[in-house]
Chain A
């Protein structure tokens, strides 16, 4: 019997990898750049549909399709920041929330108009069903394992980018004090836009994996946003490793809750979030 529970916890940890991936871009925009992107979940779903189109209409494999989306979404993130978000950034917290909220509605409706309201999934082929038998009742899917390892790799790379490179120092500088950055001659609109390009890369990778692992429809964005938010807040603002831990906690809570009763799965995640949030509102590993 314990084997079943251990298995659920293992599955939860792996699911947490996907959640951490969703949250990583948000961790960068909310935790480091310090603005809230309500359309984060919808952007992930938008890229899922992009992958779907590339795989179905061009017959590409999901891996190739995801690789194609990487530079596209990097450029998209750059332009979104440079042409739209940059105009409202720094005035007040509210305008950015309103603009991204509007963007969220536009994306959902555009997707519904183009693809209809059906639930979709990208066919991943044999990797979807491959599992590794670990011990007793514990089986690990190859795809979730790949996603989990990729999530850890992404956190590590993004953390190094932010805290070990020159562009990372510039991103933190314009996030700290954009007026001071302007005074000393940093090209802050370009730096913010590059940062959003990196957010785009995390969106593209997580969308690539999500489109193969789970179902999605044009209105799936907000629920992804909610999970991403919870992971970022649980982990503590500004801490990418914290976001990974936050995602894992949510994944485990959902998996264990679902073992009690399938209806409890999503709720269990939210309840665990609320309990930890009440006890430690600054998150587990806050950087600021």
Chain B
């Protein structure tokens, strides 16, 4: 990892009213890296992503992207800076067509990078369904649209929140196969998952979270599977 990572999160705490969802979390993502955050439900993973894109009410600590602080800035501004999110549950707009959904990504993001055709290259099935309402697609196809929407924003950092949730294993395999291709296009990826196996297989580095804190981090092949499982479920000490 370089001395000046693309994303540097330092001592981040996130509050919802009095409830503290994240406590003193520090995470880096370097350029060209796939970093995975694993953790059970309620570990604070989604709060971390929401904090990065500026969608939590109150944070402490610092989030720096290319050296500039993202704290206190609006989401449209952060997306323009080069951060795009594939939200949990896909969150497509049901009354918009596939093409309209994707175009929103292009409008909100930076300009340049991958073209619409590039993204149809990743997901050829979307091209024939481009004029259908998004809610008529299967779950896997909707996830592809969500990916396409985020990629059209030409991000330098792609945030993926639980992309395997509710999808068939064959489809999940297909989506995970694409991640290294996306990275090879110069997009760093921060991946959030409950599925330890898949997530660690694709990641360069990982962080494990439990109850709002990072309790283990490293490279997947340097940490024993037992340690990961213990950290994941909180069996330490």
The interface of chain A, by Cβ under 8 A from chain B, is: 166, 169-170, 172-173, 175-177, 179-187, 238, 287-288
Contacts and interface: CB of A to CB of B under 8 A. Distances in A.
Contact of B84 (A172, A180, A184, A288): A184
Nearest to A170: B104
Interface stretch (B17-25, B87-95, B167-175, B222-230): B87-95
Contacts of A187: 74, 76
B149 A184 contact: yes
Contacts of A170: 104, 107
21 contacts: A166-B107, A169-B104, A170-B104, A172-B95, A172-B96, A172-B100, A173-B101, A180-B92, A180-B93, A183-B50, A183-B85, A184-B75, A184-B84, A184-B91, A184-B104, A184-B150, A185-B78, A186-B104, A186-B108, A187-B74, A238-B95
A112 B166 CA distance: 58
A183 B107 CA distance: 14
Contacts of A180: 87, 91-93
A288 B95 CA distance: 8
A179 B109 CA distance: 17
Interface string B68-88: 000000111011100011010
A186 B91 CA distance: 13
Interface residues of B, number: 29
Given A183-B85, A184-B85, A185-B108, A169 B75 contact: no
Contacts of A175: 95
B137 to A, nearest CB: 15
Contact of A183 (B91, B95, B96, B103): B91
B119 to A, nearest CB: 15
Main secondary structure of the interface of A (DSSP, over half): helix
A192 to B, nearest CB: 14
B214 interface: no
B76 A173 contact: no
B105 interface: yes
Most B-side CB within 10 Å, residue of A180, A181, A287: A180
A182 B75 contact: yes
B95 A176 contact: yes
Interface in B99-151: 100-101, 103-105, 107-109, 149-150
A128 to B, nearest CB: 41
Given A170-B104, A172-B95, A173-B93, A183 B150 contact: no
Nearest to B97: A169
